Structure 1
């Protein structure tokens, strides 16, 4: 059974502990949020219910560094970082996400003149974004990711792209070309300072190679009490300030820092510098005082949010309503396991065809296609990401499904 513990006092004696911050090396961290026994992976697809229900679990214990603003899961164990081809996180089946990805690719191509260039993507997943950059800028690319499936995404640029099924290491420095991008990977790495310094050493003495990183924004998680965005495999949580400090301390100068995709994603652009550390602060960074207040707000109010959703799902169950979740990824796993309400959801819907018929780790629910709802006709659909509500409503209208959308 999942258990949640919250501390509202970051500096109480039992919450401030001696623990080295993996982002800046500070010797003390303050714990503030704990969830026990959650799946160690959210996107590894299971072939049957039994394997899904017997999936390994671990604990989440979030701790905050008051020197750099970094938040990390102290209970994270890297032995579970077994990313493989059955790790299914491809988002390109959503028109909403595709529009965002195309606009982002075009903007980076224009800003950095990425035409007939060599591009390296660290943590490329199934290669969708790297393919966009290579197709739309006539570039050549190398994508490195242990979960990559060469040939999954068909492209006219296929002969200009090499995929390597591996974790990024210094031995891959030979693939550093004219531009480095890394999207939704850094949050899966706990020794963040060590990793960014590996990237910097890979670049060497070339100070003209831009790097672009994209990760979830933790300020939104704290302000919106978005517990569904806290899960085991995300061991590192960044705000604009903590991300910028990491890059400045690792031999980069931050050239741009901003949010996108409904303010859910945090983007950083940087250039390597000859010095070991940059002193240039970006105006988008929040102060440590501001961030401390946001962490305390989360710790003080998150229980109310959890209670609201538990009560809402219990009420629907009491009324014999048919309830499904839309979105079978990490948010879904965190939502259902944190609330410990697996019995109140009948099915989980996803637009990604590679997930259909598979089972969710730790949850045991079968993933169905949107077309399943034509016959099932649910009463309520809990949408894991509000940014997709319009897209989902259009699909429901076309299928003749009349259900209440309830977005997190």
Structure 2
């Protein structure tokens, strides 16, 4: 336990080779270490009731290692003992109109593409169940959602009586739940034994060759090229690019039928079908290992300058007495504040999710406020953790009469 995160971060000038770590994606022994952040909260989205509880929250270390055999990136210091997802894990995004439009478009596209009507669907890592319920509403489907943080009845839906929620981690014991379609959104990046996980999914399907699977995860290519340090945090132990994701699925007995990006190119989507014989069919989106090495080198070489620029900005704004708030209290916010070690430069954090209001951010200790708080506070700057929400946030600020500068991270 600690009283305040004390963060040291660095991009290694020269990539350091470590023979002590095995790639969980392809089992290759030996990874190249290229970025580290020390002493960061082991969870970003657990809602804590008091500031002291938040400040005393346990921390761990991040050290990213790159596998030059399959292109996978992982936190070699990740400890699965901290994987304590529970009902107070609050990652629901469906309070945003921008996100809801994306989810609705995605659900409709999947329903049309795979004729998901009057079918049995399974979602692994369903969070609070928003997307599964949406699929079942739109296609008159039945569903099973598996997630340790799910809260039955939290999301109101006309399809609620056709959906079963299981509050548990997905494992071999859930292999009976296959149905006609399997989806898994923003879960694989939280899984350390990635090969074992996807193999479990493949074994559950067995010889039913017509069962499509759909996975959605953050795209690490963008993280590396944009030096998006805010997307590197402890819960995310696994980082995929199109190439490493496709190679994983092929090695586990799938043929990749589609591979693409969406949501401002932040999300990476893969669609696949089970096959009996190994597939060597590659997708045009897959990068080469040489391209991946170049992206890793670019990140490692330039990330220090980006971090220093943001530190200087925050210090300057504080010296000028400006009121600066962060909009978005999730993982990006936690990574932003702790990686920069400038928690004292931001006084308030804003979020539209009402289930977060009045709670405190792990390791940071800031209380999460509702947008209405800004009517009185009138900040000089609002730092937006995800630029895709800038228009939505700008509209809300205008409607509240808040005149401020919106600064996308």
Hey, what's the Cα distance between the residues in 2 that align with 1:348 and 1:400? 19
| Distance apart, 1:16 and its partner CA | 3.7
Map of 1:202 onto structure 2 = 204
In the other structure, the counterpart of 1:343 is 344
Determine the C-alpha separation between the residues in 1 that align with 2:90 and 2:294: 36
Task: Name the structure 1 match of 2:327.
Answer: 326
Question: Where does residue 298 of structure 1 map in the other structure?
Answer: 299
Aligned length: 404
Q: Is the 8 A contact 2:175 2:200 kept in 1?
A: no
The answer on 1:373 being equivalent to 2:379 is: no
Matched, 1:6 2:11: yes
For residues 152 and 394 of structure 2, the distance between their equivalents in structure 1, rounded to whole angstroms, comes to 33
SS, match of residue 22 in structure 2 = coil
Q: Within 2, Cα distance between the matches of 1:15 and 1:285?
A: 25
Aligned residues of 1:69 and 1:242 also touching (Cα < 8 A): yes
Contact 2:44 2:362 in 1 (8 A): yes
Deviation at 1:15, TM superposition (A): 3.0
Structure 2 equivalent of residue 309 of structure 1: 310
Deviation at 1:80, TM superposition (A): 0.3
Q: CA deviation at 1:17?
A: 2.7
For residues 143 and 404 of structure 2, the distance between their equivalents in structure 1, rounded to whole angstroms, comes to 44
Report matched runs for 1:3-402 at 5 Å.
3-10=8-15, 14-275=16-277, 277-402=278-403
Aligned to 2:3: none
Contact 2:397 2:403 in 1 (8 A): yes
- Under a length normalisation based on structure 1, what TM-score does the superposition of the two structures give? 0.98
CA shift, 1:188, in A, is: 0.1
Tell me the secondary structure at the aligned position of residue 391 of structure 2: helix
Q: Residue 382 of structure 1: SS of its match in structure 2?
A: strand
Q: Shift of residue 8 of structure 1?
A: 3.2
Mapped contact 1:217–1:265 kept (Cα < 8 A): yes
Give 1:290 deviation, angstroms: 0.4
- Distance in structure 2 (CA, Å) of the matches to 1:154 and 1:246: 36
Determine the C-alpha separation between the residues in 1 that align with 2:28 and 2:177. Answer: 33
Kept in 2: contact 1:8–1:296 (CA 8 A): no
Shift in Å, 1:20: 1.1
Q: Structure 1 segments of 4 or more deviating over 4 A?
A: none
SS across alignment from 1:233:
coil
Note the C-alpha offset of 1:27.
Answer: 1.1
Whether the 8 Å CA contact 2:17–2:30 is kept in 1: the answer is: no
Cα deviation digits, residues 230-258 of structure 1 (max 9, x gap): 00000000000000000000000000000
C-alpha contact (below 8 Å) 2:128/2:154 kept by paired residues: yes
Equivalent-residue separation in structure 2 for 1:295 and 1:216 (angstroms) = 16
Unaligned runs of 5+ residues in structure 1 are none
Q: Secondary structure at the match of 2:32?
A: strand
Q: Which of 15-24 and 151-160 deviates more? A: 15-24
- TM-score normalised according to structure 2 size: 0.98
